[in-house]
Amino acid sequence: MNSDITDSPWAGSAPPQNLAFVATNTPKAEEGLARLSQRYGNCPVGTADVIVCLGGDGFMLETLRHVMDRPVPVYGMNCGSVGFLMNPFDEDNLPERLVATQSAVLHPLHMRATCVDGGIHEADALNDVFLFRETRQAAKIRVDVDGRERMPELICDGVLVATPAGSTAYNLSAHGPIVPLSGNLLPLTPISAFRPRRWRGALLPSTATVTFTILETEKRPVAAVADFTEVRDVVSVVVRENRTRSVMVLFDPGQTLSERIIAEQFSA
């Protein structure tokens, strides 16, 4: 998910007036929804200048999936726990704050998974695409990049390709590198690799096409996941960045996704 950082869509113009508020089903988010709607109104999503998302990162990703390809930016307010994609919750002067935001245009990864039964499943992911073993047996996976075999056999619990924004999520938990948005790189990270034991993954150009081929599929079945889409019993999975799709996310000044990714690398 590479990103181009720019000023807000309203920089130098009047603040947006048509605000649509959406909230996850937690008491904190629902209470915030009621207060903000009373104060600023709550127009339908289809006619909104901006969508204000109240919740955590999971709900933010769900909201971004729903509005992808539509010319409406999303501004997140944290009513969850981590809130890496969110801004602090603040009711005051919201339209004026939206004018001062910076925007990031994000592009997802595309997964094309082929299953044992010949079925083909496709999905986009704003965070990551990962493969994971379905049973007690470790997975055996061949890794090709741009049609060239790079690893004939990776024995592991799984493997993932992350977007730069997603590099601070599952990828980081799997000891993968954090990638700045401006780097145009995709982390390829093993999950509990057994062989080669010392392999920690690779950084690939954002233009790369990664193909995972599952070895010994009957004995070692593998599932593939693209954000909210899970496909079981795959035999091959192709992952590439999808530049034909995009979504715009807004961040408060000094709190852009690039800044948060840099700051995360210096946190304890």
Binding site listing for NAD(+): 57-58, 127-128, 157, 165, 168-173
Choice among 4, 7, 49, 57 that is catalytic: 57
Is residue 57 annotated as a catalytic residue, yes or no?
Answer: yes
**Residues in the annotated binding site:** 57-58, 127-128, 157, 165, 168-173
Bridge partners of 203? 187
Distance CA 130, CA 152 (A): 18
Q: What is the DSSP string of 135-188?
A: SSSPEEEEEEETTEEEEEEEEESEEEEE-TGGGGTHHHHTTPPP--GGG-EEEE
Stated as kind and residue range, the H or E segment containing 66 is helix 57-67
Stated as kind and residue range, the H or E segment containing 102 is strand 102-106
Q: Is the dihedral of CA 127, 130, 136, 138 positive or negative?
A: negative
Burial class (CB in 10 A: 0-12, 13-18, 19+), 102: buried
Distance CA 137, CA 156 (A): 9
Distance CA 34, CA 37 (A): 5
CB 160 within 8 A of CB 127: no
Distance CA 90, CA 231 (A): 39
Cis-peptide, bond into residue 196, ω within 30° of zero: yes
Bridge partners of 110? 124, 240
Residues tagged active-site: 57
